[in-house]
Every structure is written in C-alpha cells, then in structure tokens.
Amino acid sequence: MWENTVITNAGIELLKNALSGGTITVTAIKSGAGKVDVSALKSQTAVSSIKQSGTVQGVTKTNETIKIGVLFSNAGLSVGYSMTQLGIYAKGSTGSEVLFAISQSITGKEVPAESAMPSWSLVHNFYIKLNNDVTMTATVDPEGYVTFETMQTALNTHTGNKSNPHSVTKSQVGLGNVPNVATNDQTPTYSDTTTLVTLSSGEKISIAFAKIKFAITTLINHLANKSNPHGVTKSQVGLGNVENKSSATIRGELTKGNVTTALGYTPPTQDTNTWRGIQNNLTSDATDQSLSAAQGKNLNISLTRHTGNKTNPHGVTKSQIGLGNVENKSSATIRSEITDANVATALGFTPANQTDMTNAQNAITQLNSDMQSLIYAKYAYPILDIANGSQITQTYSYKDLGINESYGIFFASLQQTYNDSKIFQGLDYSIKWDSSKVVFKIINTSGSTFYSIPFTLTVLAASI
C-alpha cells in the first residue's frame, strides 16, 4: 500500500558521506497524516502532519539490501487518524538529524485510538538497496520496547504456552460450581425423601437422586419381604378349597368311613398280625415256605389272573360308560327299521309313493298322445257343468260343441263349485295335478273379465 518510497535529497547527501567511510545512524521513524505531490517527496525535510513516532526494531543488511524495521502502537493515542506518510530520520557521523527517506500511501492506514482498540500495533519494514558498501545503524529506544524479533519470539512462546499463562479461573469460563473430580469420583449430595414420586424432566440432580434412592430402597425392602406383601390368597394360587391343616392333622382325622369309602369295601375287623406273614409274602413264588407264604403266593396268582381277565369281571354296564340309551343293534338292522314317518321327518316333507309316481307317469303318457288345440271358455261351459261334482270319465267331441274338430277331451272330478256366469264371461282356466286326490283340478288363475279369452288345455284327465 506504500506505493511511493524515495530517499530524500538530504538522505542522498548522507549516503555520499557514508561512501567516504562515514556511518549513517537511524534516529527515528515517524508517521504523519498529510500528503504532498509525489514529485515533491524528495525535497521534503519532515513528515507532513506528524502524529506518532514509531519504535525502531533494528537495521540489518543482506548482500546489498538494508532492512529497517519499525513498530507503531496506539498506546496513549486519544484520537485515531489515517496514516499516509512514514519517514525515516537519520544522521551521519557528524551533523544533525535529517529526513533520510519517506514513504507515502494513496489510501492510508487507519490507526484507531487506544480506547477503540487497545493494544493495536503495526509492524513495517523498509528495504533499501545500495550498490556500494554503506554502514547503517539504528538508535533503539530501550524504554518499554523490544525488537520485533524479540517480540515475535516472545509472542510465539506465549501463544504456545498451554499452562494457563493468564491464570484463567473456572469461574471466568462459567464452571465455578463444577468440582475438579472425574465423573466416577463425584459425590452428589441430596436430601432424603419419604414418598415415592416419579422423576420429572428438568429437575435438579439432588432431587432426582433422592427419589431414586428412596425407590431403590423401597424395592430392596419389598423383594426381601416374605410376609406376603401383595396379600395373595389361597384362591389366587388355586388352593381355595384347601384347609390350613398339616398332613399329620389330616391323618389324625381319618375315620372308618373315610377308609371304607377310599377302599370301596369294609375291611375285616381282625388282628392284622394274623395276616402279617401273608402280607410279607404277597409277591412270593416260593413253594417251600410256611403256610402264610403259600397263601401269599395264591393271592398273587389270583391277582394276576384277575388283572388279565378281559370278560368284564366287574360287571360294568353300558350306562356306566355313558351308552345307556344305545340298543344292541347292528347298523343293518337299524336301517331296515326306518319308516315313511322317519323319512318325512328327516326331509321336512312327504315324498310321493310308488302309486303316485305310476299315476303321474300314466297321465304324462296320456298327455303326450292327446295334445289338443285351443278352445274358448264359453264352449267348455257344458263340459264343466256336466263334470261338476261327478266322478266320471267321459268323451266329448268338439263337434258336440259346434266345433268341427274331433279331438277328445277327458275330465276328472272337480274339487270345487264354479260360478257359471264367470265361466261364460271368459275366465282363464288351466288344469293342474292334485297328488292327494290323484285327479286333475280346473283352477281359476286369472280373475280378469274378458269375453272369449282362450285357455289351453295343457293337461286332460286320465281314467282313475
């Protein structure tokens, strides 16, 4: 940003003297807030509008290049400014201080007041290249300042220090209440509680631990309680009918009746010692023992025979095995005993018998041979009148009714009385089979009053 840097006319004179064996000593580096025309920089004898004096950090020479370092700080600066000029002041072996070189910036460098930015600083290096051997030194102010190299080293040492060089406390970082112990070594404190209460989100650890402690203590005591803490009853464990009696008590309460019921018979009342030999030899197969042993053998044989008897030695009845209503009949015998009533009950209706089926077949056969044409109800009237109430088999030709056709008509007995006027007016009639009477009926199926409505004699009667 320091675009224009020149050695002033006074500085050139110092260089000339130095080439003759003289020495140039840097005495000060100052900053200013003023500007001049670039062409006037060489003739400047002082920095324009001087604001501060920097601290010379030393002069070093590498080959033909001289490096001059300077440090600016805002310590004690009450008002900030824009740094636009930097000037190096120097003097020769003899003579007074002059402006040796000057740099000017177009944009400037803002320097804040100390109150606005404490500890602000700026390091700047001048590089001057000379073709001849010139010796330059620097006058360093020792009051409170160090060289840049020293400061940089100190800064690096400080920033690399991980031993809390600023003595920061745990309170300063918001951890004043945190104990300096490992998590496993912490010793939380809390007040005991005497009631079981559920944990709540966000409550303090001291309260939560008190609840947890009481809950665990209560659970431990409960698990160790062998006095039926849940009040379990004998009914709940399936022993509701069991009395609180010892087996010895129950045995002592046995009566002769209990024994008789359990055995299924009344044992003989005699001295059991008489039968002790028999009892001891019930399973004996020996033949050379005493009479009691022989009796025991016989009893054992009798028991074996009894258990192997498959001819119902106990006289078990069919009622005792749940078959008291079952007759001793084969399935073939049971099928032969089935009646018409059984079948009708099972089917829910009475099926036609063989005679009915034969008559129906005969009627169908007759119908197939005696198909006829349409006639009108008014011509059927005489036939209905003749057939009404009579049990007959007659043949009437259509010619008798004034019709030229000669087909035969057969009627069976009618089962109801008909109104002549309605028949004559043309009521539609049809003939249907009545299985209960084994005859055909003429039944009114229309009820409409039309003159000369034809009906079809689809079924005529066969002889009964």
Indicate the pLDDT class of residue 295, thresholds 50, 70 and 90.
low
Do residues 389 and 432 both lie within one domain? yes
- Least-confidence region, from 173-182, 362-371, 374-383: 374-383
The answer to whether residue 278 scores a pLDDT higher than 70 is no
Structure tokens at 388: 């009404």
The answer to whether position 266 is within a domain reads no
Do residues 93 and 150 both lie within one domain? yes
Do residues 23 and 84 both lie within one domain? yes
Total count of residues recorded for the chain? 464
Indicate the pLDDT class of residue 308, thresholds 50, 70 and 90.
confident
Per the model's pLDDT, the better-predicted residue between 8 and 338 turns out to be: 8
The answer to whether residue 177 scores a pLDDT higher than 80 is yes
Q: How far is CA 319 from CA 309, 310, 311, 326, 327, in A?
A: 21, 19, 17, 9, 11
Do residues 283 and 410 both lie within one domain? no
Strand 65-73 to 55-62 pairing:
antiparallel
Mind listing the pLDDT tens digit for each residue in 417-459?
Answer: 333 333 322 333 333 434 443 333 333 344 333 222 233 333 3
Do residues 210 and 138 both lie within one domain? no
DSSP 328-356: S--HHHHHHT--HHHHHHHHTS----HHH
Q: What pLDDT is stored for residue 59 in this prediction? A: 86
Structure tokens at 148: 């840049």
Q: How far apart are CA 381 and CA 409, in angstroms?
A: 13
Collect all residues with Cβ–Cβ distance below 8 Å to 21 and sequence separation of at least 6: none
Indicate the pLDDT class of residue 361, thresholds 50, 70 and 90.
confident
Collect all residues with Cβ–Cβ distance below 8 Å to 74 and sequence separation of at least 6: 80, 111, 112, 113, 114, 117, 118, 120, 121
* Pick from 16, 15, 163: nearest CA to 101: 15
Q: What pLDDT is stored for residue 19 in this prediction? A: 79
Q: How far apart are CA 349 and CA 338, in angstroms?
A: 16
Q: What pLDDT is stored for residue 42 in this prediction? A: 94
Do residues 202 and 97 both lie within one domain? no
Per the model's pLDDT, the better-predicted residue between 400 and 450 turns out to be: 400
Helix-strand-coil split of the chain, %, nearest 5: 30, 20, 50
Single out the residue in 112, 135, 155 at which a domain terminates: 155
Amino acid identity, position 130: L
Collect all residues with Cβ–Cβ distance below 8 Å to 461 and sequence separation of at least 6: 363, 393, 410, 411, 412, 431, 439, 440
Q: What pLDDT is stored for residue 194 in this prediction? A: 87
What does pTM read for this prediction? 0.35
Range of the domain at 8: 4-155
Q: What pLDDT is stored for residue 288 in this prediction? A: 57
Handedness of CA 50, 53, 57, 61 (dihedral sign): positive
Beta bridge partners of residue 396, listed in sequence order: 409
Do residues 212 and 285 both lie within one domain? no
b vs e for 246-279, b when ≥16 Cβ sit within 10 Å of the residue's Cβ?
eeeeeeeeeeeeeeeeeeeeeeeeeeeeeeebbe
The answer to whether position 282 is within a domain reads yes
Do residues 23 and 150 both lie within one domain? yes
The answer to whether position 101 is within a domain reads yes
Indicate the pLDDT class of residue 151, thresholds 50, 70 and 90.
low
Q: What pLDDT is stored for residue 402 in this prediction? A: 44
The answer to whether position 399 is within a domain reads yes
The answer to whether position 130 is within a domain reads yes
Average pLDDT, the chain: 74
Do residues 195 and 288 both lie within one domain? no
The answer to whether position 314 is within a domain reads no
What single DSSP character describes residue 196? -
Report, as an integer, the average pLDDT of 351-356.
Answer: 72
Strand 55-62 to 454-455 pairing:
unpaired
The percentage of residues in the chain with a pLDDT greater than 90, rounded to a whole number, is: 26
Mind listing the pLDDT tens digit for each residue in 96-147?
Answer: 999 999 999 999 999 999 999 998 999 888 888 876 655 555 454 444 445 5
Q: How far apart are CA 429 and CA 60, in angstroms?
A: 147
Q: What pLDDT is stored for residue 408 in this prediction? A: 34
Do residues 144 and 16 both lie within one domain? yes
Indicate the pLDDT class of residue 253, thresholds 50, 70 and 90.
confident
Indicate the pLDDT class of residue 9, thresholds 50, 70 and 90.
very high
The answer to whether position 171 is within a domain reads no
Where does residue 139 rank: exposed (0-12), middle (13-18), buried (19+ CB within 10 A)?
A: middle
Q: What pLDDT is stored for residue 433 in this prediction? A: 37
Report, as an integer, the average pLDDT of 323-336.
Answer: 85
Per the model's pLDDT, the better-predicted residue between 141 and 222 turns out to be: 222
Give the CA-trace dihedral at 330, 334, 336, 342, to 10 degrees. -170
The answer to whether residue 270 scores a pLDDT higher than 70 is no
Q: How far apart are CA 159 and CA 177, in angstroms?
A: 28
Amino acid identity, position 358: T
* Pick from 385, 422, 420: nearest CA to 401: 385
Q: What pLDDT is stored for residue 417 in this prediction? A: 38
Q: What pLDDT is stored for residue 60 in this prediction? A: 87
Structure tokens at 249: 């008590």
* Distance from the Cα of residue 268 to its chain's centroid: 74
Q: What pLDDT is stored for residue 275 in this prediction? A: 55
Per the model's pLDDT, the better-predicted residue between 57 and 81 turns out to be: 81
Collect all residues with Cβ–Cβ distance below 8 Å to 83 and sequence separation of at least 6: 31, 32, 33, 51, 72, 105, 108, 109, 110, 111, 122
Do residues 120 and 15 both lie within one domain? yes
Q: What pLDDT is stored for residue 290 in this prediction? A: 55
Q: What pLDDT is stored for residue 326 in this prediction? A: 82
Q: What pLDDT is stored for residue 154 in this prediction? A: 74
Q: How far is CA 95 from CA 13, 14, 100, 179, 425, in A?
A: 11, 10, 13, 69, 168
Q: How far is CA 288 from CA 221, 275, 279, 284, 303, in A?
A: 70, 18, 17, 11, 21
Per the model's pLDDT, the better-predicted residue between 378 and 105 turns out to be: 105
Q: How far apart are CA 205 and CA 188, in angstroms?
A: 8
Per the model's pLDDT, the better-predicted residue between 387 and 220 turns out to be: 220
Do residues 148 and 76 both lie within one domain? yes
What's the start-to-end Cα distance of the chain, in Å? Answer: 144
Per the model's pLDDT, the better-predicted residue between 302 and 53 turns out to be: 53
Per mean pLDDT, which of 21-30, 80-89, 139-148 is the most reliable?
80-89
Supply the Cα-derived Rg of the chain in whole angstroms.
Answer: 71
Q: What pLDDT is stored for residue 391 in this prediction? A: 34
Per mean pLDDT, which of 77-86, 89-98, 160-169, 366-375 is the most reliable?
77-86
Answer yes or no: are the C-beta atoms of 48 and 101 closer than 8 Å: no
Number of domains, the chain: 4
Q: How far is CA 183 from CA 172, 211, 216, in A?
A: 22, 21, 22
The answer to whether position 463 is within a domain reads no
Q: What pLDDT is stored for residue 101 in this prediction? A: 93
